[in-house]
A and B are shown apart, each in its own frame.
Chain A
Amino acid sequence: MSFMIEALSLHKEFPARKNGPSPGNGKNGDPRNDGGQRLFSPKARPQLVAVEDVSLTIQSGEIFGLLGPNGAGKSTTIRMLATLLEPSRGTARIAGFDVVRQPQAVRRRLGTVLGGERSTYWKLTGRENLEYFAALYQIPGGEARLRIQELLARLDLEAKANELVERYSSGMKQRLALARALLPRPPVLLLDEPTVGLDPQSARNLRQIIRELKEQGHTILLTTHYMEEADQLSDRIAIIDHGRVIALDTPRALKASLTQQEVCRLEAAGLPDPKPWASQIPGVQEVNCRFLTESQTWEVTLHLKDYRAAAPELLRLVTEQGGRVIQLSVKEPTLEDVFLSLTGKALRD
């Protein structure tokens, strides 16, 4: 079977900086290879591992979600696939073309939204932006005009096409960035956090557009740290943390991996750290606790075999600790629970 996107054992490490994060993905990276003894040698600098042994194969027409917290290695992975970064090791191919050896062929087949609303010229109009990028993509003049008109209409930008981008809303800027990515009619789309910073309505509209693009046959690799977005859009999801893929499957299968368990969520006030005592409840397999500063309450997520059997003990312990139950519920596992179960931390942490 031929894949539209293939990444085989991709690995990226950066020289560590004295002050600040690693360059590729912001904050992530384990200091390795610390050979600080050799002064003045470039090899002496410690390396930050941003992506470690990532392998993905994405079929034509698939929406593939790369889900992980900020700094997990999502953007570094997508930048390597987009030819902006060279992998330290491993290979990647887009529509069969190697991202290192055939970058031009790769770019011809890619539409990319990186950096979202900042990736267009704010002092040009929407139409002027698209005309400029159409020339860079070598789309002949007449054809370019037709495509631009079609994209402006399809992405609901027609009315403001001749206004400066600086007057656009965030949602419109993001749609313009998507229009730019779609200009060359690429078979593969790389969308890095496409809905970040958008209001709920704009984000919903953009998700709908992404679904339509899939229906038209585009292969889409989407990075996000919004679980609901990954869940709603993706045919398959890779959960990435500390540069490694820690789970890869359909959203349903990922959630089903937790079906042997029930997920109980307790919100309680006036408690000390609940982790030590909550772990003692019979049948509890995993406990994750988060202090909600706004409400000054603890949110305790318990993965357990039988909620009904454990509930009385849970309530008794809360009372014994001097706490007060605000909310108690049992829910279907979500991707957040999958992430919690795999990493022991919330996606937003």
Chain B
Amino acid sequence: MSGLLATVRIIWAIVKKDLLVMLRYPLNTFMMMVEPIMWLTPVYFLGRAFSSNSVARGFLATTGTGDFMTFVLLGTIAQSYISAAFWGMGMALRNDMTSGTLEANWLAPVSRLLLLFGKSVSSLVRTSLNLVVILALGNQLFGLEISAPFWKAGAYLLPMLIGLYGFGFAYAGLVLLLKDANVLTDVTNFLVSTLSGSSFPVKVLPTPLLMISLALPMTYGLDAIRSILLGIPPLVALGWESLILIIFALVFSLAGSYIFRRVDQHVRRTGTLSMY
């Protein structure tokens, strides 16, 4: 089998396996799909309470758009990907550890980075499926529409995802080391999602928190996507945001792979792979 075809087949096998396992827990799957819209519902009504004629005037003055709900919806989408990067690969490894299947996977004659990449694609597919449901439900329940085509934001979304999943590689390494990183994952995920402005414009943050926010590459990705899809002015010129995201993607994908390889080598030396 040719190298590329075999690689695609391995990735597809991982995605298919994860989707099948997910579907064997139908209630969890249902909740995973509808949960984001449940969180969004009170925000929607709060937004309406602050709006007149569907325009939130104060919000318009701060951000350049009165469409509060679409602003938040785009933030929810970005937050879903950030959470997937945090939880997706690390949790997938953790699940394999606790169920006892990790060693069986790692005994296969394929690169462990490819196995991890397969898990990241799997996580991406599940998150994207989730987003389709969020958008469809948002449209049906609240009449939400994003009129600008999504592909225009792709140039910013793609490097952000690559960087995020590079970060996910490093995080998966951390899970291999710490075994149970749930609390750390929760706290970091919350801080990164919140400070990158997934549910509000970062401009409203007090200066110290704004400084942290501006140090997070995700802030620029989210800002660029909102700027393009909502036609609002970006925090810094889009060209700079693009450059920041490309550097983020390069640095984090390389660093993430490196860290994961080092941790893999470490657990092979210390013999802690099968411990959980």
- A interface vs B, CB < 8 Å? 12, 14-15, 22-24, 50, 76, 79, 82-86, 88, 104-105, 107-108, 110, 112, 114-115, 118-124, 128, 131-133, 135-138, 140-141, 164, 177, 180, 184
Residues of B within 8 A of A85 (CB): 268-269, 271, 273
Tell me whether B10 is interfacial, beta carbon within 8 Å: yes
Tell me the smallest distance from the CB of A88 to a CB of chain B, in Å: 8
Given contacts A23-B271, A79-B271, A122-B99, 16 further A-B contacts (CB under 8 A): A23-B275, A24-B271, A79-B274, A85-B268, A85-B271, A105-B109, A123-B24, A135-B13, A136-B108, A136-B110, A137-B109, A138-B1, A138-B9, A141-B9, A177-B104, A184-B109
Complex contact A83–B269 (CB within 8 A): no
Complex contact B109–A133 (CB within 8 A): no
A115 and B104 in contact, given A104-B109, A136-B13 (Cβ under 8 angstroms): yes
* Chain B interface, DSSP helix/strand/loop, else mixed: helix
Tell me the smallest distance from the CB of B88 to a CB of chain A, in Å: 18
Complex contact A164–B24 (CB within 8 A): yes
The residue on A at minimum CB distance from B9 is A135
Residues of A within 8 A of B107 (CB): 82-84, 107, 110, 112, 114
A84 and B103 in contact, given A135-B10, A137-B109 (Cβ under 8 angstroms): yes
A118 and B12 in contact, given A107-B108, A136-B105 (Cβ under 8 angstroms): no
Separation of A15 and B267 alpha carbons in the complex (Å): 12
The residue on B at minimum CB distance from A75 is B274
Tell me the smallest distance from the CB of A136 to a CB of chain B, in Å: 4
Interface magnitude class on chain B:
35 or more
The residue on B at minimum CB distance from A135 is B13
Tell me the smallest distance from the CB of A191 to a CB of chain B, in Å: 13
Residues 15 to 36 of chain B near chain A (Cβ within 8 Å): 16-17, 20-21, 24-25
Separation of A120 and B17 alpha carbons in the complex (Å): 12
Separation of A50 and B269 alpha carbons in the complex (Å): 12
A118 and B99 in contact, given A24-B271, A107-B108 (Cβ under 8 angstroms): yes
Tell me whether B236 is interfacial, beta carbon within 8 Å: no
Residues of A within 8 A of B99 (CB): 118, 121-122
Complex contact B12–A135 (CB within 8 A): yes
Complex contact A133–B108 (CB within 8 A): yes
Residues 56 to 102 of chain B near chain A (Cβ within 8 Å): 99-101
9 smallest beta-carbon distances between A and B, as pairs: A118-B100, A135-B13, A136-B108, A23-B271, A24-B271, A107-B109, A119-B104, A108-B109, A123-B24
Complex contact A23–B24 (CB within 8 A): no
Tell me the smallest distance from the CB of A5 to a CB of chain B, in Å: 16
Residues 140 to 156 of chain B near chain A (Cβ within 8 Å): none
Residues of A within 8 A of B268 (CB): 83-86
Interface centre among A76, A114, A184 (most CB of B within 10 A): A114
A140 and B1 in contact, given A15-B270, A85-B271 (Cβ under 8 angstroms): yes
Residues of A within 8 A of B104 (CB): 112, 114-115, 119-120, 133, 177, 180
Interface string of B92-129 (1 = CB under 8 A from A): 00000001110111111111000100000000000000
Tell me whether B54 is interfacial, beta carbon within 8 Å: no
Partner of B272, one of A23, A110, A180: A23
Residues of B within 8 A of A137 (CB): 108-109
Separation of A122 and B104 alpha carbons in the complex (Å): 13
The residue on A at minimum CB distance from B272 is A23
Complex contact A115–B270 (CB within 8 A): no
The residue on B at minimum CB distance from A82 is B107
Separation of A121 and B265 alpha carbons in the complex (Å): 25
Tell me the smallest distance from the CB of B17 to a CB of chain A, in Å: 5
Residues of A within 8 A of B16 (CB): 132
A86 and B272 in contact, given A121-B99, A124-B17, A180-B104 (Cβ under 8 angstroms): no
Tell me the smallest distance from the CB of A182 to a CB of chain B, in Å: 13
A118 and B101 in contact, given A133-B108, A138-B10 (Cβ under 8 angstroms): yes
Residues of B within 8 A of A24 (CB): 271
Tell me the smallest distance from the CB of A104 to a CB of chain B, in Å: 5
